[in-house]
Amino acid sequence: MDSPLWIYCIGLVAQLFFTMRVLVQWVASEKSKKVESPSSFWLLSIAGSAVFMFYGYLRKDLSITLGEFLSFYIYYWNIRALGLFQKTNRAIPWMVAIIPLFALGLILADFSSFKADFLPNENMPLGLLIFGLVGQFTYKMRFVVQWAHSFRRGESLLPLSFWTFAVAGSMMLIVYGIIRHDWVLVAGQISIFPSIRNIMIELGSRKGSDEEVI
């Protein structure tokens, strides 16, 4: 389950993007005293997702690869919703959109290796694979909830449910990462602390609004 150092370095680059997005969002929320959804959060998210998807492929980890494949397009939607692609060349949105398809092509190019490396094997028992997939699903579900919430309101928002799914998913992924000797994945879950803080900010802003009404 251990990998060469250079593979972990790729994972650390992805986690650097994810850490930067959390810090940017956290600072913006602390300043405004409400949960913010800045443009840089989504740009850093999609950059980190592309790199982490490749890391998951190198680690032969289906839960990471599949999880990033799903969340990538939600990052993409938020970037479009914020109008950020309007400031770029027309080809760029298409080039960004096919990144996960390229990763999928790498996996399916040799289907026999996919079955041997990504599906249950001696390094990835079925129970552990299922636990990892459930952990990733819980963690990534926050973006499905965020997309649905934002789509209904016609703008990019980060609701309270986003942060509750983040905390629950992080706890599961910490356990999964320890078992898998994936210290990059474990280190990335430091974002659980900003997630808890965002829950506190959101609840605090709601309490303040209720008091104003009273």
As a whole number of angstroms, the distance between CA 84 and CA 145 comes to 22
- Number of structural domains in the chain: 1
pLDDT in tens, 159-213: 999 999 999 999 999 999 999 999 999 999 998 999 999 999 989 887 766 555 4
Parent domain of 15: 5-213
Mean pLDDT in residue range 66-71? 89
Nearest to 136 by CA among 99, 166, 102: 166
Asked if pLDDT for residue 133 goes beyond 90, the answer is yes
- Residue 67 near residue 137, CB atoms below 8 Å: yes
Q: What is the pLDDT of residue 47?
A: 95
The enclosing H or E element of 92 equals: helix 91-97
- Report pTM: 0.84
- Residue 141 near residue 165, CB atoms below 8 Å: yes
Compute how many other C-beta atoms are within 10 angstroms of the C-beta atom of residue 205: 16
Higher pLDDT, 9 or 34: 9
37 pLDDT tier (thresholds 50, 70, 90): confident
